[in-house]
Amino acid sequence: MRRISILGATGSIGQNTIDLIARAPDDYDVVALTGGANIAQLARDARALRAQIAVTAYPDRLEDLRAALAGSDVIAAAGPAALTEAASRPADWVMSAIIGSAGLAPGLAAIGQGATLALANKESLVCAGALVLDTARRYDARLLPVDSEHSAVFQALVGEDMQAVERIIITASGGAFRDWPLEALKSATLSEASSHPNWDMGQRITIDSASMFNKALEIIETREFFGVDPDQIEVIVHPESLIHALVGFRDGALMAHVGAPDMRHAIGYALNWPARCELPVARLDLAQIGQLNFRAPQEARYPALRLAREVMARGGLAGAVFNGAKERALDAFIAGSIGFLDMADVVEEVLTRCEAQAGLLDATMTLETVTETDHLARTWADAVMAERAGR
């Protein structure tokens, strides 16, 4: 039996992972499940999967979790330190699916015990790519991509020599507003931004898809994961979301990964790797699909893509600033205090201020410096938003 843990078990990726393992319960020994506010779901899954431990991120929800687990053998715990402790419990395979930079410390803890880390939490690589990769090397832990684009690239690279790779093309659906007039984006509402044309995902990543902040994070993730130069990474809008990524080789060949927009494909690939096992995903009928469309992303519509390029060119802790400011601006958009287009302006202003702070972005990358930088970026994002509101 493989020992597995799921960090962020109550979320969209976590639930899809549980859907797969629940189909073969005798194959898995579930060590830890973690969640946040959704205590009922966490307790239900921990009981059903007979997890050793269930952890909520929020200390003030510990009593609720204990009550929900009463009469079972599952240990209840709460808070960031408990999350990290749960992630460091010996396991063979750990799904990293907490949303945001909160996923970094538990992910590093899982790597630190040598587990294979299935990485959905792209923010870990954006904020601290070098640290995550160094830690994986030090503990001989394998990282497997779960983001659909990165899983697609990973699959296209099986048996290939990285020296032969000319470019990596990641596709983008274009999100909820891909066909809106640019002018209309200013007044885009939360509910409009929260509905994705193709994918069924958590609310935050759905909004990040509409603004392409998600694609911006993925460009940086691609650079870190595959070690290619920024100018080898391209983004193309592909409204059908059936091709997830393409790898271009120096002989001119393009290898595309084609599949239904269902995250259980990428999750299942990481779960079964290096084997390919049957998965409950739709099989495509290409004759019925008929045609696939592609277009270049408009820079003016998606300033996040330009910011991602600037972050990669800057290096150091710029990724942690980018992500921290983005998370805070997204919180504010969700709370209704800033508009859809304001998010990119806020992030750009925070990047500019951090760049002006001598040495800040060039501090040695450790969990502590990344965490401090993340907090600072959030504080400055709040300050920038307060200044803009006062104007």
Interface positions with ligand NDP (CB under 6 A): 8-14, 35-38, 57, 83, 97-99, 102, 120-123, 147, 199, 201-202, 204-205, 263
| Helix runs in 302-366, H state only | 303-314, 318-335, 342-356
Of 16 and 135, nearer to ligand NDP (C-beta) is 16
Of 226 and 360, nearer to ligand NDP (C-beta) is 226
Of 57 and 311, nearer to ligand NDP (C-beta) is 57
Least distance between ligand NDP and beta carbon 156 (Å): 17
> Cα 112–208–388 angle (5° rounding)?
110
Least distance between ligand NDP and beta carbon 366 (Å): 20
Of 38 and 379, nearer to ligand NDP (C-beta) is 38
Least distance between ligand NDP and beta carbon 83 (Å): 6
Residues 6 or more apart whose CB falls under 8 angstroms from that of 153 comprise 145, 168, 170, 222, 225, 226, 245, 247, 257
Least distance between ligand NDP and beta carbon 149 (Å): 8
Residue 117 per-residue DSSP state: E
Least distance between ligand NDP and beta carbon 206 (Å): 8
- Using CB positions, name the residue nearest to ligand NDP: 11
Of 106 and 248, nearer to ligand NDP (C-beta) is 106
| Helix runs in the chain, H state only | 12-21, 39-48, 62-68, 80-87, 104-112, 122-138, 148-156, 190-193, 203-211, 213-226, 263-272, 286-289, 303-314, 318-335, 342-356, 367-390
